[in-house]
Amino acid sequence: MANAYALGEAASRTTGQVDALFLFITVVSLFFFLLVEGLLIYFAIRYRKRKGAEPSETPDIRGSLFLETVWILIPTIVVASFFYYGYRVFRDIRTPPPGATDIHVVGRQWLFEFRYPDGSSSINELRVPAGGPLKLILSSDDVIHSFYIPAYRLKQDMVPGQYTTLYLHPDKAGTYYILCAEYCGVAHSTMRAKLIVMEPDAYAAWREKKKAPAALSLAEQGKGLVEKSGCLGCHALEGKEKIGPNLGQDFGRKVLLEDGTSVTANEEYLRESILDPKAKVVKGYPAVMPTFKESLSPDDVGAIIAYLKSLSGDKEKDGKEEGEKGVGKEEREGKEAPSAQKGEELAETLGCLGCHSVDGSVRVGPSFEGLFGRQVEFEDGGKATADEAYLRESINLPRAKVVKGFPDVMPEFKGKISEEDLSAIIAYLKTLKQ
């Protein structure tokens, strides 16, 4: 089955399930296609009009309960089996696996950013140990993207202003492509990332080599935000309720709403309740909460949700352990001189080359060719020399100085790549002088 459709090897249990379903539908369809077409050809020859034969009358058959029952029953059974089999696989793919590690994934024109429970993040590279299931919480910062892992046969839209989820079972070590499968602008075709699944031992060794992330874990960041944003003025964590519901209640519980309906308190519900609290008001509470749309970034909301999840019962231990020994980013270590070759690799992985050419042609942004040392003119009329300081700023905070004639679309890399990586990229850009 593995390479049946030239889509890559069987990398995950979902691969085999989807392939088997696809094969089943194909074989059954092919069988009926050949049967019907074969009979059609056979009858056309067998009952053709022969030269010199006596004209004969077509028999006038009206109604046959037996025939009608057969041709209704067989197709019904066939399509119902397609549905049932498909539903079983779909249900399995969509069922939350117990103990999954939460990873937030943000799609952005034109890269994927991954945020791990320990507070670290990575761009265009999702590195995980084989074995444990993952829960990806997907969202987008701009337009609709689609998170697609061909080797796992899984695809899920990433929608701005909404969370969608995808469960992964990284069973087999290897490197797999993650592609964007929704046309999202000029550099759509270059929007791709790598899923690197490592053997648990190798992963542990790799983690060991990395410095422990200095940053707070995602849940700890969320705790700080909850305190700072004044949430605790109205929401107690536990014990006596204040104005709103307690925050320490079970994640995933059923919540009864004012309008009589109920919802599951999952990531998407919590996200909506923070940004648009009046959309779903919990029964028995006043609709007085203000929106936090302006004051909290999507990353902040993700951190708060991680914190709320950690408050909820035994998830706390799970979350913490996952966070500590769980997946984390690649912290590039060593103080060797910034190498242009490493910079070139980074420009490739981080997706820079999707928008910036190296041959002088214009894609989305200015070409890298001859960029270093050149005079650049900005949208606001200012000018500068593209020296190290300028390149550093343009990578960290691209919106500070937008080059004249180019769209203001580059995402910020501040805090997302290390100093070493930044230096390596600049060293690489220097080699591209004309």
Q: Which stretch binds ligand CUA (CB under 6 A): 82-90, 176-184, 282-290, 373-381?
A: 176-184
Q: How many CB atoms lie within 10 A of CB 359?
A: 8
If you compute the radius of gyration of the chain from its CA atoms, what whole number of angstroms results? 28
177, 150 in Cβ contact below 8 A? yes
Q: How far apart are CA 69 and CA 80, in angstroms?
A: 16
Residue 192 in contact with ligand CUA, rule: CB under 6 A: no
Dig out the tokens for 151 from the structure. 């080797």
Which amino acid is present at 62?
R
Residue 111 CB, shortest distance to ligand CUA, in Å, is 9
Q: Is 137 in the site for ligand CUA (CB under 6 A)?
A: no
Which of 10, 18, 149, 191 is in the footprint of ligand CUA by CB under 6 A? 191
Cβ-based nearer residue to ligand CUA, 84 or 183: 183
Q: Which residue from 399, 423, 227 is spatially nearest to 336, judged by alpha carbons?
A: 423
C-alpha closest to that of 256 among 295, 283, 225:
283
Here the tokens at position 179 are 């592609």
Best CA proximity match to 308, nearest among 368, 267, 361: 267
Q: Which of residues 110-129 bind ligand CUA (CB under 6 A)?
A: 110
- Contact between 8 and 151 under an 8 Å Cβ cutoff? The reply is yes
Shortest separation between residue 191's beta carbon and ligand CUA, angstroms: 4
**Minimum CB distance to ligand CUA smaller for 107 or for 326:** 107
Residue of the chain from 104, 127, 145, 207 that contacts ligand CUA (CB under 6 A): 145
Beta strands in 329-425 (DSSP E): 375-377, 383-385
Interatomic CA distance for residues 282 and 261, integer angstroms: 10
**Residue 188 is a binding residue for ligand CUA (CB under 6 A):** yes
Query: Is residue 184 at the binding interface for ligand CUA, with CB under 6 A as the rule?
Result: yes
Closer to ligand CUA by Cβ: residue 149 or 289: 149
Q: Which stretch binds ligand CUA (CB under 6 A): 179-187, 245-253, 290-298, 388-396?
A: 179-187
Instruction: Please identify which residue in 12, 107, 120, 247 interacts with ligand CUA, judged by CB under 6 A.
Output: 107
182 makes contact with ligand CUA (CB under 6 A):
yes
Select from 180, 303, 364, 386 the one that contacts ligand CUA (CB under 6 A): 180
Q: Which residues in this chain contact ligand CUA in the complex, by CB under 6 A?
A: 107, 110, 145, 180, 182-184, 188, 191
